[in-house]
Structure 1
Amino acid sequence: MKTYSLLIFDWDGTLMDSAAHITLCMRNAIALTAAEPRSDGQIRNIIGLGLDEAVYHLYPQASPSLIRQIVDEYRQEFLVRTTHGSELFAGAREALHGLAAQGYQLAVATGKSRRGLDKVLAETGLDALFPITRCADETRSKPHPQMLDEILTDCDTAVRDALMIGDSIYDLQMAQAIGMDSLAVTYGVHGLERLLQHQPRGYVDNVAAIPAWLTQQQVTE
């Protein structure tokens, strides 16, 4: 028997190699507002949060109007101005189709906006695999667990039967807050040492290893 019936994936840094693109868009947005620059490391650290929360973390002393300006410029950069996007991590597409074929329910819990997630789901052709998704602009941002709670309700699944899979501490904190098991991936924005502080059930070093990790849980329990 499967240990989990529902697999909830983060998107950026877990399924899609988008950190560089997000960082570039945020750098450009900051420059357009003439705000004080932030390093690439500082920007990468907030990937996974909702956009408003992310900008606030970068500028905790800023006025609401400046935060709104940066948010608006970022949206234009990401959705309109930049012509190059991001690619799925190698093996992600195959892993997802394989998991769906095994009977797992698949869902997405992301810091992206609804418009942003719908865009990349359509571009990658993966929208049919994820009938249930939650975005930061339609519920509370990570690490608050509301989006997980809503996904569980929509999927009619108990928390013990679901697994959160993500690359950031915000993903793991969100799972911890609701009592859900999590699987950390080490190839995204936060390093293994930080991820392990939030007690994931395990970790993998590439997306293609997720199916084998799940099979191992079935064997050992």
Structure 2
Amino acid sequence: MRARQFDLIAFDWDGTLFDSTAIITRCIQLAVRDVGGTVPSDKEAAYVIGMGLMQALAHAAPDVPAYKYPELGARYRFHYMARQSDIVLFDGVLPLLADLRSRHHLLAVATGKSRRGLDEALRSSQLAGCFDGSRTADETAGKPDPRMLHELMAEFGVPPERTLMIGDTTHDLQMALSAGCASVGVSYGAHEPGDFEALGPRVVAHSVRALHDWLLQNA
């Protein structure tokens, strides 16, 4: 077996591990409609996925006044809760994570979800116990600020050159770049893969299988 290049591998959640982009996009649009804002296009709504919730909603609905943000957030949560049972893991995620754990990589989640949201998702999915650590947008700085990765690296004593970030958005890849870490983009999530090039990912994987194969050869 080749020598391991990365000790810590951090994954984004939505659009990288879970097939949730379309549902989150629709929930953002419905929430903005409910509070009387201009409904963002699919592309505009998908762009903010990965940011912290209120940062994302404010960006997606710039004409919604700040005093309506609590209502906007509540409406998003209402629509998301009604649809969360329809969100499923991408095929191949479980064997991918199992193979990485068998190679003794430290695995983490760096997500724009809230701590409550991530903990609920972990409990209700097959991923409980798969990760050694996690950071959420409400307990540290949201993406693309690099603080999530800085904190995870400090927690496990892993330097940037031994850390890899995997995500489906430019927010994920910019976070990695700012933290001095390598990154891998996936094209099956929220952002267009053509936007990744300037952020220097090691590779852009077009499926979970392709991601799995690359990691086994290169991580």
Q: Which residue of 2 aligns with 1:13?
A: 15
Helix, strand or coil for the counterpart of 2:135?
A: strand
Question: Contact 1:140/1:146 (CA < 8 Å) preserved in 2?
Answer: yes
Question: Contact 1:159/1:179 (CA < 8 Å) preserved in 2?
Answer: yes
Q: Which amino acid aligns with 1:9?
A: F
Question: Contact 2:51/2:143 (CA < 8 Å) preserved in 1?
Answer: yes
2:64 to 62, 65, 69: 62
Q: Which residue of 2 aligns with 1:107?
A: 108
Following TM superposition, by how much is the alpha carbon of 1:131 offset from its aligned partner in structure 2, in angstroms? 2.7
Q: Which residue of 2 aligns with 1:32?
A: 34
Following TM superposition, by how much is the alpha carbon of 1:125 offset from its aligned partner in structure 2, in angstroms? 2.3
Counterpart Cα distance in 1 of 2:34 and 2:95: 39
Helix, strand or coil for the counterpart of 2:199?
A: coil
Counterpart Cα distance in 2 of 1:40 and 1:85: 19
Could you tell me which runs of 5 or more consecutive residues in structure 2 were left unpaired when the two chains were aligned. Answer: none
Could you tell me which runs of 5 or more consecutive residues in structure 1 were left unpaired when the two chains were aligned. Answer: none
Counterpart Cα distance in 2 of 1:211 and 1:197: 23
Q: Which residue of 1 aligns with 2:180?
A: 179
Helix, strand or coil for the counterpart of 2:158?
A: coil
Q: Which residue of 2 aligns with 1:43?
A: 45
Helix, strand or coil for the counterpart of 2:196?
A: helix
**What is the correspondence of 1:57-206 to structure 2 with a 5 Å cutoff?**
57-79=59-81, 81-82=82-83, 84-206=85-207
Helix, strand or coil for the counterpart of 1:147?
A: helix
Following TM superposition, by how much is the alpha carbon of 1:13 offset from its aligned partner in structure 2, in angstroms? 0.6
Question: Contact 1:49/1:111 (CA < 8 Å) preserved in 2?
Answer: yes
Question: Contact 1:59/1:67 (CA < 8 Å) preserved in 2?
Answer: no
Work out the number of aligned pairs and report it.
Answer: 217
Q: Which residue of 2 aligns with 1:53?
A: 55
Helix, strand or coil for the counterpart of 1:183?
A: strand
Q: Which amino acid aligns with 2:69?
A: I
Counterpart Cα distance in 2 of 1:130 and 1:85: 23
Following TM superposition, by how much is the alpha carbon of 1:133 offset from its aligned partner in structure 2, in angstroms? 0.5
Counterpart Cα distance in 2 of 1:83 and 1:99: 27
Q: Which amino acid aligns with 1:100?
A: R
Question: Contact 1:204/1:210 (CA < 8 Å) preserved in 2?
Answer: yes
CA displacement 1:53-97 (0-9 Å, x = unmatched): 111211335321122321121123223x33633011111111111
Q: Which amino acid aligns with 1:46?
A: V
CA displacement 1:135-183 (0-9 Å, x = unmatched): 1111111000001111111112111111000010000000010110001
Counterpart Cα distance in 2 of 1:142 and 1:152: 16
Question: Contact 1:10/1:167 (CA < 8 Å) preserved in 2?
Answer: yes
The TM-score with structure 2 as length reference comes to: 0.93
Counterpart Cα distance in 1 of 2:32 and 2:62: 14
